Amino acid sequence: MPSFEPKIPIAAITDEFSPVLAEAIPPMKEIGMNAAELRVIDGKNILDLSSDELKRAKEALDKAGLPVISIASPILKCVLPGGPELDQRFHQDAFGSKHTFEDQEKLTGRAIEIAGFFGAPIIRVFSYWRTIKPELCLDAIIEAFGRLARSAEKSNLIIAVENEHACNIATAAEAARAFDFLPNPNLKLLWDPANALVAGEDPYPGGYSLLRKDRIAHIHAKDCHMEGDTPIFGPLGTRRVRWKEQIAALLNEGYQGFISLETHWAGPGGNKLEASRICGWNLKGLASA
């Protein structure tokens, strides 16, 4: 009988279980997750926490034996000045961050500092809020990514660009196009198949086939189907993303990173913690098959 142990290590964005870190840790440990990803802690964006708040979070995670795999920053989740009109089809989730374009240099320095504090190898970033003509933003995005990668080099960190449906790089095709101009090894992709689906792409096998596998540093896992332009999230592995096949392909390609749960589903009766518990166990099962 095969062991029920993930063949790819699994993690979670802690606030998907609860914005209170002390409430998120027990179910993550119960499921057998190997690491944590930090976005919102005790109701505040990770980049806005004080030194004392960061210290308390680190002590709790260290006690639980949960290393931090990624700082899920809001860097470049803002309007690109002078860019085309914003695409109003997509909801702009800010997760406690209201920072503007002018704040990005300061945010980058803070993210690098916090990643060093937690020993996290990855900082997640975006590509500005999505416009009606994302291709016209490509030069500015490439310039920003280059600056981020050069900053990360000094600390031996990976800048992981998430394909986010509400940002200008939403699909694998858009990510592959941008990465053609970005050879820096400190800049990689955070592949989110569900985001690609929401953006209108077939994430697997279509989108995934376009990606250079050595540029994928991290994976986010959630699941949904579409009703018009609206994603309807549900239990991981039960909607439109072909997670079983996607994970098999990652294993076949020798993927060395984590798969991190990003539930998004509101859960039975609006119980988000229970939603993440269900999706966490589903992720463990899919990663163990």
Domain ranges of the chain: 10-288
Of 255, 258, 225, 266, which Cα lies nearest the Cα of 242? 225
pLDDT of residue 10: 98
pLDDT of residue 95: 56
pLDDT of residue 1: 32
The confidence score (pLDDT) of residue 4 equals: 78
**10-288: CATH superfamily:** Divalent-metal-dependent TIM barrel enzymes (3.20.20.150)
pLDDT tens for the chain, 289 residues long, are 345 799 999 999 999 999 999 999 999 999 999 999 999 999 999 999 999 999 999 999 999 999 999 999 999 999 999 999 999 887 776 555 678 999 999 999 999 999 999 999 999 999 999 999 999 999 999 999 999 999 999 999 999 999 999 999 999 999 999 999 999 999 999 999 999 999 999 999 999 999 999 999 999 999 999 999 899 999 999 999 999 999 999 999 999 999 999 999 999 999 999 999 999 999 999 999 8
One-letter identity of residue 124: R
In whole angstroms, give the CA distance from residue 128 to residue 106: 16
- Three-state secondary structure call for residue 264: coil
Residue 94 confidence (pLDDT):
55
CB atoms within 10 A of CB 255: 20
Q: How far is CA 44 from CA 2, 21, 94, 160, 212, in A?
A: 41, 11, 11, 22, 35
**What CA–CA distance (Å, rounded) separates 70 from 258?**
10
Q: Are strands 216-221 and 224-227 parallel, antiparallel or unpaired?
A: unpaired
User: Where would I find the beta strands (DSSP E) of the chain?
Assistant: 10-13, 35-38, 40-41, 44-45, 68-75, 122-125, 158-162, 187-191, 216-221, 224-227, 230-233, 259-261
Phi, psi of 191, rounded to the nearest 5 degrees: -85, 120
The residue among 283, 287, 286, 288 whose CA lies nearest residue 12 is 283
| pLDDT tens track for 26-39 | 999 999 999 999 99
Q: Between the CA of residue 181 and those of 49, 112, 171, 207, what are the distances in Å?
A: 34, 24, 16, 19
The DSSP secondary structure of 125-173, one letter per residue, reads E---B-BS-GGGGHHHHHHHHHHHHHHHHTTT-EEEEE--TTBS--SHH
